Amino acid sequence: MSSSQPKTAPPALLEARGVTVAFDGFRAVDDVTFTVAAGALIGIAGTNGAGKSTLFGALAGQLPVSAGEIRLQGRDMTALPAHRRAGLGLARTFQVPREFGTLSVLDNLLAAAPNARHETLAAAWFGRPGGRRRDAELTAQADEVLRLTGLAAMRDQPAAALSGGQKKLLELSRALMGQPRCILLDEPFAGVNPVLIGQLLEVLRAIHARGLALVVIEHHLQALKTLVQRLVVMDQGRILADGAPQAVLDDARVQAAYMGGVA
């Protein structure tokens, strides 16, 4: 019987359906439908205030939606708090990095590992060997992440000593500690010097090559175009265009939203 039925496609890795986020009635994100396939590499652009970061907040669980639903591998997680979504494989970075300045780079990564606090407390109070073993495993994982992101030389420095660009790499490193399937990156290139932008691009390509899906918010459309397979442009809370990067850049509505000056 089932052979006569049409094959249904597997659910998208991440899916927003009709998502609206309103602040006192103002729709910062307005009826957005958007899917991320496993292993995709997608850019999100749009002018200031278009709703890009708010959309990330809704997807990752920092902001409640006013309408719509969010699914991860077909599972409705609209009501789940951020840490539960992270546990299911969805990580994000913030536009303004959120490092702990007085902690070392390594400790920033350890603090970002799921259940790190619980494990550390258990180990400290009960001297559980399991806790120590887990600490050793987490440290090994953190060292691997730091090699991948190029921050290994800064491992024992306080995070406050990092440059702006290195703090972006630290944000990304912290996100990787949860072993995500998808990372939402909010303006990873903003304020980063050209040398580090090159390093960051290489790191993102390497992470993507390992099978992670990446969604990258970036104002600079031409830079984004060189990285992504698909480009989404938002304007006033809505998706204006979604498709192959060049086709989106050529779209008349996108040109108009950027007032003829696509960056």
Ligand X SMILES: Nc1ncnc2c1ncn2[C@@H]1O[C@H](COP(=O)(O)OP(=O)(O)OP(=O)(O)O)[C@@H](O)[C@H]1O
- Whose CA is closest to 87, among 188, 182, 187, 206? 182
Q: Which of 37, 54, 92, 145 binds ligand X (CB under 6 A)?
A: 54
Q: What are phi and psi for residue 241, nearest 5 degrees?
A: -155, 150
199 binds, among ligand X, Mg ion, none (CB under 5 to 8 A by kind): none
**Which stretch, 48-56, 65-73, 76-84, 194-202, contacts ligand X (CB under 6 A)?**
48-56
Task: Examine residue 28 and tell whether it contacts ligand X (CB under 6 A).
Answer: yes
Q: Which of 36, 50, 204, 233 binds ligand X (CB under 6 A)?
A: 50
226 binds, among ligand X, Mg ion, none (CB under 5 to 8 A by kind): none
Nearer to ligand X, 73 or 236 (CB): 236
**Which stretch, 10-18, 32-40, 52-60, 249-257, contacts ligand X (CB under 6 A)?**
52-60
With CB under 6 A as the rule, give the number of residues binding ligand X: 11
Task: Examine residue 51 and tell whether it contacts ligand X (CB under 6 A).
Answer: yes
**x/- letters, 85..114, toward ligand X (CB under 6 A):** ----------x-------------------
- Closest distance to Mg ion from the beta carbon of 9 (Å): 31
SS (H, E, C) the chain: CHHHCCCCCCCCCEEEEEEEEEECCEEEEEEEEEEECCCCEEEEEECCCCCHHHHHHHHHCCCCCCEEEEEECCEECCCCCHHHHHHCCEEECCCCCCCCCCCEHHHHHHHHCCCHHHHHHHHHHHCCHHHHHHHHHHHHHHHHHHHHHCCHHHCCCEHHHCCHHHHHHHHHHHHHCCCCCEEEEECCCCCCCHHHHHHHHHHHHHHHHCCCEEEEECCCHHHHHHHCCEEEEEECCEEEEEECHHHHHHCHHHHHHCCCCCC
- Closest distance to Mg ion from the beta carbon of 53 (Å): 3
Task: Examine residue 23 and tell whether it contacts ligand X (CB under 6 A).
Answer: yes
Task: Examine residue 3 and tell whether it contacts ligand X (CB under 6 A).
Answer: no
- Closest distance to Mg ion from the beta carbon of 2 (Å): 45
Nearer to ligand X, 23 or 126 (CB): 23
Instruction: Summarize as ranges the residues that interact with ligand X (CB under 6 A).
Output: 23, 28, 46, 48-54, 95
